[in-house]
Structure formats: structure tokens, C-alpha cells
Amino acid sequence: MATRTLPVKRTGKAGSTVFLKTLMAVTGIIFVLFVLAHMYGNLKLFFGEQSFNDYSEGLRTLGEPELPRHGLLTILEIILGVSVVLHIYSAIALWKRAQHARPVRYTVKKRVAASISSKWMRWGGVFLALFIVWHLLEFTLVRINVGSGGQVAGITQNPYELVVHSFQVWWLTVIYLVAMVALFMHLNHGIWSASQTLGWTSTPSARVKAKAIALVVALVVSIGFAICPFFVLVGVIS
Amino acid sequence: MNLTLKIWRQDGPNDAGALVTYPISDVSEDMSFLEMLDVLNEQLILDGKEPVAFDSDCREGICGMCSLMINGMAHGPEVTTTCQLHMRSFKDGDEITIEPWRAEAFPLVKDLIVDRSSFDRIIQAGGYISVNTGAAPEAHSVPVSKPAADRAFNTATCIGCGACVAACPNASAMLFMGAKVTHLGELPQGQPERDARVIKMINEHDAEGFGGCTNIGECAAACPKEIPLDVISQLNHDFRKAKHAH
Ligand code: HEM
Ligand code: SF4
Ligand code: FES
């Protein structure tokens, strides 16, 4: 016989706010590792067509001969895909919670400690998600052709040509540069926030360090990405 | 000095509320903020009007009862409690907006008074140590290192005022919980229940309707006892390591 009518309170760890935050932090760190590797690969554009296309081919033959062609790459793609789903799921769940947690807003509210980066986490994240979809359609699936990139070369034949021809279109470069500002802000707050969520910043000095590391990594990643389209646009890479 | 106060008035939990404007004159800069409200209330009573309901108890910054959002800042512009805020922090002609703490887990009772018993239930869920009552044990029988004692003491200064929740964009109570978890977690007496404490407190926190932390830092900036952000990391750390919930 049921003796309680109240909803049963959670007793374990799964599903709690801190659990969701941990999910966001772990998947976020997977993204950080990914963008670092991705940025490093992009910089090969500066070493010419051969170098960049070799890298692109190298990704597809990663893990051979133990794994089939495209094997390791597919595994990495699955990990990233699952991470994106979990990251967005927990972001939305916590976003909703935050709205319920303050049903009546203040008439006057001053933010004294929040950084610009931290204020943009949610809408900046939404923008990054849209950007990632666009980016994949353009360069991975080659469904959108900007400039003469797609006609000159399908991604499997000549990725270098594809990139260079695409970024000669100024507005495309602008979209990418704006996305890198968004990425900078997301990482600047995100890396520090993830360190805090994972419990690595339990002393004041660790906090200062985590914030510094977040800033440096965010700068390196966003600038490292941004210089490729930028230098294509101004004609240094052609 | 002469001021214009805009105060949230609301008869009861389910009534509609609104900001009401009250001019007030001849305020001395030596008055505390609450004394200034006392003066306003005396005037309202003389005029046959309903005085503004607000909370206070000790008026010396140690009980955590006073709780006002003053011009968009919890406890006003100084790092202290509302009762320890003085009118010298304002100047002649200022307009001051006074609102209650806003959070689902702090339901409004009347005017500026909110019910913060959700904090009590979080403490009841796990923010304690179990000891037998009776003769107090010899204080030095269990050694505590100086750094641990200092950190435990500093975090034990939390007065449960709720300013951290009020200032947080997510209405999260992580700083409050972090302070307690760090306080008890630094001490030998806090160890047996350490794992269960953090899990039970967080589950109660979530069930009460507080939001999730996004590490913005508004809480620590608003805290009158300057509880630092690293207690939130400590809380997360203990939660991640915790194995059993009982
Ligand atoms: C796909 C769309 C994305 C959305 C909707 C999104 C949204 C969010 C939100 C709302 C947060 C929490 C912010 C906070 O705690 O203040 C967050 C955290 C984070 N995000 Fe994203 N994000 C996205 C993509 C990315 C990408 C592409 C990266 C990495 C390059 C990334 C890395 C991180 C990191 C490291 C964190 C910190 C985790 C934490 O707060 O504990 N995110 N994201
Ligand atoms: S942590 Fe600070 S702001 Fe929060 S309840 Fe304790 S004393 Fe008040
Ligand atoms: S009335 Fe006790 S702390 Fe302000």
C-alpha cells in the first residue's frame, strides 16, 4: 500500500544538478582536446597543398593497418557526436532549471562579478551549435558550396582547394571569424568552469591558475583557427 | 539627506505585488539601513498605513535574518549584511530600489520577507555531524592541523543569509552548501558522514527547486562573510568522490 503521496526524492548521484554539470564538463573537455587537434591540423594550410592534403588523408588512414580505413576516425566521430548530444542535453536541462528557480525577476539587478564570457555561455553555445552544423555541411559533407570550392574539388579529392576557394568569399570568412569570437568566450569561461565543476580548484591559487589556463587555451584555439580563413582572404594562402 | 525609496509591497504569497515609491527626508548618515526603514515605518504607522514588513533579528551581522536586495545588490553596495549597512553608503537625492530575495525555493511571505526554511532542510538532510550529547569531550583529544582548522573556521562563518542565492543568476545555493561541506569536511569529526552528506545535501537542494551552478561568481561577490568560490569546487570534488549515500 502506498503510504507516501510526495514524490520520492532522489537518493543517488545520477541526475542531480552537479551530475549534469559534470557531464557538461567532461564532454566540454573532450571538445577542447578535439579543437586543439583540429586547429593544429588546420595550420598545415600554411605549409602548402601537399602538407594539408597529406594530413587530411592521414586522418582517414589513422590506426591502419590494425583498423580498417576510416576506422579510428569513425570511432572519434561517434565519441564527438555522443558528446555533443550529452553536452546540449545537460545545457538545456540546467537552463530550464535556472528559469524555474527564479520565476519572478528583479526589477533592478546588478551583475558585479560575471564576465562577458560567462554571460554568453548559453546563447553563445546555441550559436556554436548552429555554426557546427553549417561547418559540417560545408566541409565534411560538402553540401553547401561557397565560392568555387565544391566545383574545383570534392573534399575527398582536394581539401586544400576546397578551403582556399571557399574562404576567398569575404562573408564566409566573416562568419568564421565571428564564430571564433564565440568560441573564445565559450572556452574562456568553459575551461575554468569545468575545472571548478570537476573539483580541481579548491584553493585560491588553483582558481587563479585555472582562469589563466582557460584564457590562454581560449586565445590559442580561437586565434589559431582564425588566422587560416583570414590569411586566405587577404591572399597569403592561395 | 533626502531619498526616494521604491519598495516591493505584496500582501501575501499569492497576491500581486508592485514597487511603491516613498519619499523619506532627514535621513542621518549614521543610521543603519534598517533604522532608516524603521523611521519610514513609524511614519507609515502615524499616517495610518500598513508598515513595510522586513526581516531582522540580531542587527549585528551574525544571525543572517536580514535579507534585502538593495539597488540590485544583495545586502547593498558594501560587503556586509543589510543590518550592518549604513546610510553613509548613499548620498542625498539617491533613489533606492528595495526588493525581496527572488527564488522559487525562497517563497515570499509578505513585502520583503521570504521563507528561507529550504536552507534548514538542506542542513537537516546532511549538514551535521552525529555525536552523543552529554559531557563535552576534551577539546584537544582529536588533533586538527592549523590549516584545516583555519579553513573550517572561515567556512563556518556562513550565517545562512541566502544572499548567494539571491545574487546568483541561476538561484543556486552551491556557495551555501559548499561552505558547510568544506567546514565539516576539514574536521576529523566530519569524516564518517562525509560521502553521504554531500549527496544528501545536493539532492535536497535540487528537490527544493534551486538552480544549477554555472560558476559565474556572483555569490562570492555578494556574500557578507566572504565565503570564497573554492568551496564550490570542494563540494563538487566531494560529490565526485562520494561512493555511498547513507
Ligand atoms: C554545440 C553547442 C554547444 C552548446 C549549446 C553549449 C552550451 C554550453 C553551456 C550552456 C555550458 C555551461 C556554461 C556554464 O557552466 O556557465 C557549456 C559549458 C562548456 N562548453 Fe559548451 N556548448 C556547446 C559547444 C561547445 C563546444 C564546441 C565546446 C568546445 C570547443 C564547448 C566547451 C565547453 C566547455 C569546456 C564547457 C565547461 C563545462 C562546465 O561548465 O563545467 N562547448 N556549454
Ligand atoms: S555563503 Fe555567504 S551569502 Fe551564502 S548564505 Fe552563507 S553567508 Fe550568506
Ligand atoms: S539582522 Fe542578523 S545578520 Fe542582519
Q: Is A148 on the interface with B (CB under 8 A)?
A: no
| B82 and B120 fall within a common domain | no
Residue with more model confidence, A151 or A54: A54
A148 pLDDT exceeds 80?
A: no
Residues B12-18: what's their mean pLDDT? 95
Give the rounded percent of residues in chain A with a pLDDT score beyond 90.
58
Going by pLDDT thresholds of 50, 70 and 90, the confidence category of residue A126 is: very high
| B7 and B120 fall within a common domain | no
B61 C-alpha to center of ligand 3: Å?
Answer: 4
Beta-ladder partners of B74: B69
> Considering only CB atoms, which chain B residues are within 8 Å of A105?
102
- Using the Cα atoms of residue A123, residue A126, residue A132 and residue A137 in order, give the sign of their dihedral: negative
* Buried/exposed A138-168: b ≥16 CB within 10 Å, e otherwise: bbeebeeebbebbebbebeebbbbbbbbbbb
Contact predicate B200/B244, CB 8 Å: no
- Asked if the peptide bond before residue A65 counts as cis, ω within 30 degrees of 0, the response is yes
A238 pLDDT exceeds 60?
A: yes
Phi, psi of A18 (to 5 degrees): -70, -35
ipTM entry: 0.91
| B101 and B124 fall within a common domain | no
Which ligand 1 atom lies nearest to the CA of residue A132?
1
Nearest to B34 by CA among B6, B49, B20, B53: B53
| B184 and B80 fall within a common domain | no
**Ligand 2 close to Cβ of residue B151 (< 6 A):** no
Going by pLDDT thresholds of 50, 70 and 90, the confidence category of residue B61 is: very high
| B102 and B150 fall within a common domain | no
Grid cell for residue B196 = 553521504
Residue B140: its pLDDT value, please?
A: 83
Exposed/middle/buried for residue B165 (C-beta within 10 Å: 0-12, 13-18, 19+): buried
Which ligand 2 atom lies nearest to the CA of residue B163?
3
Q: What is the pLDDT of residues B141-194, one digit of tens each?
A: 889 999 999 999 999 999 999 999 999 999 999 999 999 999 999 999 999 999
Q: Is B78 on the interface with A (CB under 8 A)?
A: no
Going by pLDDT thresholds of 50, 70 and 90, the confidence category of residue A57 is: confident
Q: What is the pLDDT of residues B25-54, one digit of tens each?
A: 999 999 999 999 999 999 999 999 999 999
Residues A152-174: what's their mean pLDDT? 78
Residue with more model confidence, A51 or A207: A207
> Which CATH number do you get for residue B68?
3.10.20.30
Q: Do B233 and A202 touch (CB under 8 A)?
A: yes
State the DSSP H helix or E strand holding residue B70, giving kind and residue range, or none if neither: strand B69-70
> Which CATH number do you get for residue B153?
1.10.1060.10
| B81 and B122 fall within a common domain | no
| B120 and B217 fall within a common domain | yes
- Domain of residue B18: give its range: 3-109
Give the rounded percent of residues in chain A with a pLDDT score beyond 70.
92
Q: What is the CATH number of domain A13-106+113-233?
A: 1.20.1300.10
Q: Is B72 on the interface with A (CB under 8 A)?
A: yes
Provide the residue type at B23 as one letter: P
| B87 and B44 fall within a common domain | yes
Residue B111: its pLDDT value, please?
A: 97
B230 pLDDT exceeds 80?
A: yes
Least confident of A65-79, A122-136, B41-55, B60-74: A65-79
| B46 and B150 fall within a common domain | no
Residue B3 half-sphere exposure toward CB, CA atoms < 13 A:
23
Exposed/middle/buried for residue B62 (C-beta within 10 Å: 0-12, 13-18, 19+): middle
Nearest CA in chain B to A104: B102
Average pLDDT over chain A reads 88
Going by pLDDT thresholds of 50, 70 and 90, the confidence category of residue A2 is: low
Nearest to B89 by CA among B68, B70, B63: B70
Distance of CA A139 to CAs A129, A132, A145, A176, B85, Å?
15, 10, 9, 13, 59
| B73 and B125 fall within a common domain | no
A156 pLDDT exceeds 70?
A: no
What is the number of domains present in chain B? Answer: 2
B203 C-alpha to center of ligand 1: Å?
Answer: 24
Going by pLDDT thresholds of 50, 70 and 90, the confidence category of residue A6 is: low
Going by pLDDT thresholds of 50, 70 and 90, the confidence category of residue B202 is: very high
